[in-house]
Chains A and B, each alone.
Chain A
Amino acid sequence: MPVFIAKRLLVALPTLLIISIFVFSLQKLLPGDPVLAMAGEERDPAVLELLREKYHLNDPIPVQYVRWLGGVVQGDLGMSLRTNQPVLELIKEKLPVTIQLAIMSMIFAFAIGVPMGILAAVKKNTVLDYVASLLALSGLSVPNFWLGIMLILLVSVQLGWLPASGYESIFVDPVRSLQTMIMPAFVLGNALAATLMRHTRSAMLGVLSADYIRTARAKGLSPREVVLSHSFRNALLPVITLTALLFGELLAGAVLTEQIFTIPGFGKLIVDAVFNRDYAVVQGVVMCTALGFILMNLIADVLYVLLNPRLRANL
């Protein structure tokens, strides 16, 4: 297993390199001068020139790229043009926020999606199945920003149960932290739950019609045992692949959700950075996200092997 993991990590390196070149060049293709965006209404030509010099924006793009890469190898992701803070520091500050949001959303997604999927498969073509499918469809169709604002208006403004937006670290005030995160996590998890439900249902349907399930039933096992121990474990494999892929969707969704609920996380960081042409921050955040995505896929692969003994022979 360690060899397997090491191999996968090694393969990840060229992937990351290609992504970095891609992001770097794409950013430079964007119209808009970062220094002009920074200066806002105070456009003093001398200051603009000084800033261009300071951040090496006058150099040819390949030179800028090599300089950036040289920094990355030494653990220096550069400085934010806008706030004058090291990018690494910003990432360290924002990443835990988004991870908390992602974990809570996943918990919501699993808690809603998986049981609903199992139920819909077991009770195929009954009212329960239709209701679950309808809920899933609406979960997929309702846009995040709309659901978010509706929830704020209902839960915070009308009922006054939860704070409308903001963030508190879970280490400083756990109760307040959970209070501020419940709504965004629900909004983000809701769409994922729908996807999870659909896939769990179809995977379960496939497994439930397999021969060994009939055998298990014939042996006289209780329906509960048949569903949970025999079917679900096998149906779980495609669900895990999906979860790794959903991680990307989760980060994309976090951009909007964090904006609506004003959560100072990764999503908000990248939106602000793009609008201000804060190249170093965009680059750092995208690389970090790509790394996270690769790691998620690796974890999925490892889980696969742990759940499915047949795959172990290939290691």
Chain B
Amino acid sequence: MNGFLRLTTALAFGVLTALPAAAADLKIGLQDDADVLDPAQSRSFVGRIVYTAMCDKLVDVSPDLKIVPQLATGWKWSDDGLKLVMTLRDGVKFHDETTMDAAAVVATIERNLTLPESRRKSELSSVAKVEATGPLEVTFTLKQPDATLLAQLSDRAGMIVSPKAAKELGANFGSKPVCAGPFKFVERVQQDRIVLEKFKDYWNKDAIFIDKVTYLPIPDSTVRLANLRSGDLDMIERLAATDAQSVKGDGKLKYEAVVNIGYMSLYANVGNGARANNPFGKDKRLRQAFSLAIDREALMQIVYEGTAVAGNQPFPPNSPWYDKNIPVPARDVAKAKALVKQAGFDRVPVEMQVPNNPVAQQMMQIVQSMVAEAGFDVQLKSTEFATLLNEQTAGNYQLSRSDWSGRVDPDGNIHQFVTCNAGLNDTKYCNPEVDKLLNAARASTDETVRKQKYDAAAAILNDDLPMIYLGHQSWIWAMKKSVSGFVPNPDGMIRLTGMKKEG
């Protein structure tokens, strides 16, 4: 080979490799349509999936649920837990090319705290003030120690938006959101699609290999999967557990799953209005018997084809916060019967409200027949979801099936449900001892101390049983074989950083 030929070959090769690859468009099927696309106002789960691509947060959550840097590169708590100092990443631009700095963070947090429509107020309720203590340094001063703040800042409360756009659009920010994430907003058609494109000045642009991403809400899981199989979608979230085997056996598709941070549970009305005045609400032995009569393992195998895990605490058994001294109880009908007898009953009538979706109903029918053997005559009351929520808050129920999507910090899975007068405490359970433990756990930034407090609270709650935990579902994703680099995270988000699509 002569020199000239070698040179041209090398040049041609150089040109070829320098050429951009064909544009990679990713189409993702979501279960619902997102609500307002303003991190301050949003409340839907799928909205958070879209933000993951569009709006970077101060901190992120790793697959093992540790808080890791994102827009903030480091942070430090003061010894009394009343001050949090965060150092920000240098050279970060918003989608409108303005600079992300300490002033922008302060403006965003203040917006979250003061915008009348903001849904972030309770998440940031411990913040007394936030100040720019340097061009790239912000200091949060708290009213009382709050270990959950970092976890809050890893979600919508910590998504930094362009102050310029926020000022211009006010409460209408959702019509054209401007953040500092890897993808910027292009268009949205209600109930049809949300389109984002790669932001060329993203701080971590070298790790982004997707050029355009389109989110399509398709509520029916069968149709969602059909769209993936026909090639109209590249990836779907929340695959139905009943389709798991068929996707695993499909040579063209990939299956990913991870146990989520939420839980499935039954609320027992122990103190919410007049309907709490019944044996089941007043005598914990009956609730213990009810719990013992359920074969949780079988329930998860039958209803969720083994994709869900049995549980008995607000944290899944694989979580570091799970108390291993209180393992998932095995079914014990004899003991359950004995407890019912001790409480002075032969048969106990119980009315249970259940959301009117097929999976929840199937599950509760199985529970109904399981507990019947121990002496419970369960009457199922199938209720549409908004109504169920209303009845539950109003205390118009005896036993109610209710689930929680889960929060990264353990506090978010337990404090607001079981402390006296808490916002989501629909059972109206109130035990000063539990309050004391959970408040102490919230105030400490020392994980060992927190774990001790949660364990102590778990022991009391496992005895009183205002909530009977059943298990933990998995997030299940299915995608084409050509999609790679996806890392399942227990928070259910789809992080596009590092993801690739070939062909």
Contact = CB atoms under 8 A, between A and B. Distances in A.
Given A84-B36, A156-B230, A166-B192, A32 B223 contact: no
A276 B405 CA distance: 19
A280 to B, nearest CB: 15
Contacts of B172: 84
A84 B174 contact: yes
B133 interface: no
Nearest to A31: B387
Contact of B191 (A42, A153, A160, A272): A272
B226 A157 contact: yes
Interface stretch (B12-20, B97-105, B213-221, B362-370): B213-221
A262 B219 contact: yes
Contact of A164 (B36, B44, B192, B232): B232
Interface string A123-161: 000000000000000000000000001001100110010
B232 A37 contact: no
Given A46-B121, A262-B216, A164 B230 contact: yes
A44 B112 CA distance: 14
Interface string A20-56: 0000000000111110111111111111001000000
Contacts of B389: 32-33, 36-37
Contacts of B405: 41
A245 B123 CA distance: 53
Interface in A254-281: 259-262, 264, 268-269, 272, 275-277
A32 B387 contact: yes
Contacts of B193: 166
Interface string B204-239: 000000000000111110110011011110000000
Given A41-B404, A157-B226, A275 B219 contact: no
Contacts of B387: 30-32
A222 interface: no
Contact of B119 (A44, A163, A167, A259): A44
B1 interface: no
B189 interface: yes
Nearest to B174: A84
A15 interface: no
A153 B223 CA distance: 9
Contacts of B323: none
B476 to A, nearest CB: 19
Given A43-B423, A84-B174, A166 B232 contact: yes
Contact of B43 (A40, A46, A84, A157): A40
* Interface core residue of A33, A36, A262, A276 (most chain B CB under 10 Å): A262
Contact of A44 (B190, B217, B423): B423
B384 A32 contact: yes
A93 interface: yes
B189 A277 contact: no
A38 B43 contact: yes
Contacts of B116: 50
B155 to A, nearest CB: 11
Nearest to B230: A156
A83 interface: yes
A51 to B, nearest CB: 8
B386 A37 contact: yes
B33 interface: yes
Contacts of A64: none
Contact of B190 (A40, A153, A264): A264
Nearest to A93: B190
A44 to B, nearest CB: 4
Nearest to A50: B116
Interface string B14-58: 000000000000000000010110000101100000000000000
A308 interface: no
B131 interface: no
Interface string A88-99: 001001100000
A45 B121 CA distance: 11
Nearest to B403: A41
A37 B405 CA distance: 16
Contacts of B119: 39, 42, 44, 47
Nearest to B123: A42
A85 interface: yes
A153 B226 contact: yes
A149 B171 CA distance: 40
A42 B119 CA distance: 7
A90 B35 CA distance: 14
B245 interface: no
A38 B222 CA distance: 26
B452 to A, nearest CB: 28
Contacts of A85: 190
A241 interface: no
B391 interface: yes
A74 B109 CA distance: 39
Contacts of B497: none
Contacts of A44: 119, 121-122, 423
A11 B130 CA distance: 63
Contacts of A41: 43, 404-405, 424
A234 interface: no
B228 to A, nearest CB: 9
B43 A90 contact: no
Nearest to B392: A36
A259 B220 contact: yes
A31 B226 contact: no
A167 B192 contact: yes
A275 B190 contact: no
B386 A275 contact: yes
A39 B36 CA distance: 12
B385 interface: yes
Contacts of B220: 259-260, 262
20 contacts: A32-B389, A33-B389, A33-B393, A41-B405, A41-B424, A44-B121, A47-B119, A50-B117, A82-B35, A84-B36, A84-B41, A156-B232, A164-B227, A164-B232, A165-B218, A166-B227, A260-B220, A262-B219, A272-B33, A272-B191
Instruction: Give the 7 A-B residue pairs with the shortest CB-CB distance, closest first.
Output: A32-B386, A264-B192, A156-B230, A264-B191, A44-B122, A37-B386, A31-B387
Interface of A: 30-34, 36-47, 50, 82-85, 90, 93-94, 149, 152-153, 156-157, 160, 163-167, 259-262, 264, 268-269, 272, 275-277
Given A149-B226, A152-B223, 19 more contacts: A31-B391, A32-B386, A39-B43, A41-B43, A42-B43, A44-B122, A46-B121, A83-B35, A83-B36, A93-B189, A93-B190, A163-B227, A163-B230, A163-B232, A164-B226, A165-B232, A259-B219, A262-B216, A275-B385
